[in-house]
Amino acid sequence: MRGVGLWGPIWGYISLESDFNTVHGAFFDHKGETPGLGAEIAEKSFQQQFEGKKIYNNDNSFVSVNVMKAAEKSELDPVNRVDAISGGTITSKGTDAMLKNCIEPYLAYFGKIKK
């Protein structure tokens, strides 16, 4: 996956379990995000939040894993959310957009494989 953070490119990988819904693991990195803020996407503590999360909601609609502040109101179940980086709002939003934009094109392929 490729996206845009506050100061430049961000990228990552995400692996799914055989159900093509549950996140097995995630890895993210960046070119020049602010240390202690947006650069936290490269830290294990941020990446581990994705393990076990789901990219589909209970209605079987694609919602991705949403990166959002814990206090933010949302109709999404906790299984579809991870906590955004405190002080790294733009990088968090960039990571959120990257996930949605880069996973969605694979949904048809996942559907074919599942069958």
Domain boundaries defined on the chain: 2-114
Q: How far apart are CA 39 and CA 86, in angstroms?
A: 11
pLDDT of 9-61, one tens digit each? 999 999 999 999 999 999 999 999 989 899 999 999 999 999 999 999 999 99
pLDDT of 61-98, one tens digit each? 999 999 999 888 899 999 999 999 999 999 999 999 99
Q: How far apart are CA 46 and CA 92, in angstroms?
A: 11
Q: How far apart are CA 87 and CA 102, in angstroms?
A: 24
Q: How far apart are CA 91 and CA 59, in angstroms?
A: 29
